[in-house]
Chains A and B, each alone.
Chain A
């Protein structure tokens, strides 16, 4: 297998790990940062698959705008609602 296929498989496994961390973390602010990291890895994936238009659009929107919207929503609440992120049966 060539270098490009190894790179795609490695990137894919990293994206799966970050996605599971984003969905299962206890604090909410950690989940938002993991979502931003997942978006960054997806930009690399789009660039590897011959799609530069989509890579630039996802880079600008995923890293700057969506993360800023989440952080501004979480700024106006008190501390207790932010750290209570876990589920218990």
Chain B
């Protein structure tokens, strides 16, 4: 009975939404350039990757909000799952080749993640997938070795420092410039490595912060009570 009611409700919602989508006079797939919402962002880009210039330069306040949400979720996981101290043991013993192989791959993945957030304003990628790759490299070390613990205190200090520097850059924008999180440095020519003002610096901060945060979350998840 519950399933049939749910199916009827969901199909009714689907019919209503699709009918209203086809009813309006915006043709979604054939919009002209002048009808596009973000037309100002494509005509005045501050870096070669236009999505980067929207995320870090024009809407930098939303990125600060997202960094805060990640910090609060890491805090929540630490409150709920803190205090467990021994690792979950896997049912199969880890062979020698697995440990050596993960050690070799670890350095390469860290290098790929660092490349991604340093070149975030020139190629696709940026701070968030670069930081997530660093977190995935530490996850590989956790899976490959049954008794590995990362140095969590160093990661927590790194995460707190990077977040504070981001807010400090914003406050410097109020004191020296006109508004919070203004792009104070020179923009330069589009396409160089040193271009875009504060954009590469902020992406490096975000990449390191997200990487250390995700590593901290994994360290809480692999523990259990003794």
A and B touch in the complex (CB under 8 A): yes
The minimal Cβ–Cβ distance linking B153 to chain A, given in whole angstroms, is 22
Flag B1-31 by CB within 8 Å of A: 1 or 0 each.
Answer: 1110000000000000000000000000000
Q: Are A68 and B139 in contact (CB under 8 A)?
A: yes
Contacts of A78 in B (CB 8 A): none
Name the one of A53, A55, A69, A89 contacting B126, with C-beta atoms under 8 angstroms.
Answer: A53
| Chain B residue nearest in CB terms to A64 | B136
The minimal Cβ–Cβ distance linking B105 to chain A, given in whole angstroms, is 13
Q: Which of chain A's residues 37-88 have a Cβ closer than 8 Å to chain B? A: 52-53, 55-57, 59-61, 64-65, 68-69, 72-73, 75-76, 87
Q: Are A53 and B132 in contact (CB under 8 A)?
A: no
Q: Are B133 and A60 in contact (CB under 8 A)?
A: yes
Q: Are B224 and A65 in contact (CB under 8 A)?
A: no
Stretch at the interface among B155-163, B177-185, B192-200, B214-222: B214-222
Q: Are B124 and A53 in contact (CB under 8 A)?
A: yes
SS of B interface (majority):
helix
Q: A53-B124, A65-B139, A65-B214 given as contacts; is B221 within 8 A of A72 (CB)? A: yes
Q: Are A75 and B136 in contact (CB under 8 A)?
A: no
Chain B contributes a number of interface residues (CB within 8 A of A) equal to 26
Contacts of B143 in A (CB 8 A): 68
Name the one of B1, B128, B135 contacting A57, with C-beta atoms under 8 angstroms.
Answer: B128
Q: How far is the CA of A70 from the CA of B70 in the complex (A)?
A: 18
Q: Are A52 and B3 in contact (CB under 8 A)?
A: no
Interface residues of chain B, those whose CB is within 8 Å of chain A, are 1-3, 49, 51-52, 88, 90, 116, 124-126, 128-129, 132-133, 135-136, 139, 143, 214, 217-218, 221-222, 224
Q: List 17 A-B contacts (CB under 8 A).
A: A52-B124, A53-B51, A56-B116, A57-B126, A57-B129, A60-B129, A61-B132, A64-B132, A65-B132, A65-B136, A68-B139, A72-B88, A72-B221, A73-B221, A75-B88, A75-B90, A76-B88
